[in-house]
Structure 1
Amino acid sequence: MENILFKLSFPAEFHAQTACEAAVILHPRIDDRIDDIEKIVLTTHESAIRIISKEGTLANPADRDHCLQYMVAVPLLTGDLMAENYEDDYHAQHHVLIDGLRRKMIVEEDAGYSKDYHDPSKRSIANAIQIFFKDGSSTDKVVVEYPIGHKRRRKEGIPVLEAKFRASLATRFIDSRCQDIFALCSDQTRLEHTPVHEFMDLFMAN
């Protein structure tokens, strides 16, 4: 459990989680300068390049949610990344802007990021983004080493995890049942002494 990665911030393949976060940070700094962008440098680790770096046409949502460049372009443009951003109707409406940014992206490996990704004491999933403009100026290089669901960011991650759990419960159960389930799951001693059938009964529809 200590090494579990929780996917909390974005519906994105894990190698891209920190890249998405960096893109969200950069969004307000470039929102009014999209047309002025000359190039976007994505610095990442070898596994991300091998698994999710893609150029050219993306045929469907599964293709898009495993494309590093796509998952960076959307939050650069909008300030967020949501599941619906991968769907065909969204892509049909916005692909010109998204693909325009993708074509400006240069993906580079940082050997240190790759080393730390495999280091058992770190297991970082680092990504960095820096944006260069046609007038010669640039943003700072925004580096995010660990996604919010990583063990090194547990303190800020747990409240997000709890909020995600509450939101998921609310899609299925009335408020009182949601509160009962959350209260039980928040009390480790009581949870460990709850018979399995009683625990499962809480997840049965009214």
Structure 2
Amino acid sequence: MRAKMECVEDPHFTKDYHDPEKRSIANALTVEFNDGSKFEEIVVEYPIGHKRRREDGIPLLVEKFKVNLARRFPAKQQEAILAVSLDQATLEAMPVNEYVDLYVI
């Protein structure tokens, strides 16, 4: 698949990336099939991890954190880690060694 891909710079994207007012991290994707037909190009100017999309990204990040905690820790330990991790004041007040201890099985 990689051998069939072609990467092309869009000078407008590069300009917007270097513009301190925008700092866009734009990308676009066009899928073209062997018969010459293609999907309409999809452009994403600010991907989900961009600072301008924190409102969109934080809930997804928290959900990813929960999913990965569930892969490793029992429910009670997951809850303890989440309670501290999602409460900024508590987290900032907690000594680092106590926080790290929450991850010990």
Query: Given the two structures, how large is their TM-score scaled by the length of structure 1?
Result: 0.45
Amino acid at match of 2:27: N
Highest relative contact order (Cα 8 Å, sep 6+), 1 or 2? 1
- Cross-structure match for 2:85: 185
Shift of 1:112: 0.8
**2:73 is the alignment partner of 1:176:** no
Sequence identity (%): 49
- Cross-structure match for 1:148: 48
- Cross-structure match for 2:18: 118
Mapping of residues 102-113 of structure 1, within 5 Å? 102-103=3-4, 105-113=5-13
Give the paired residue count: 104
Q: CA offsets per residue over residues 20-65 of structure 1, 9 Å max, x none?
A: xxxxxxxxxxxxxxxxxxxxxxxxxxxxxxxxxxxxxxxxxxxxxx
User: Cα RMSD (Å) of the superposition?
Assistant: 2.0
Misfit runs of 4+, over 4 Å: none
Residues of 1 paired with 2:57 and 2:40: CA distance?
A: 25
Shift of 1:192: 1.9
Shift of 1:106: 3.6
> Where in structure 1 are there 5+ consecutive unaligned residues?
1-97
- Structure whose alpha-carbon radius of gyration is higher: 2
> Which of the two has greater strand per residue?
1
Query: Given the two structures, how large is their TM-score scaled by the length of structure 2?
Result: 0.81
Mapping of residues 41-120 of structure 1, within 5 Å? 98=1, 102-103=3-4, 105-120=5-20
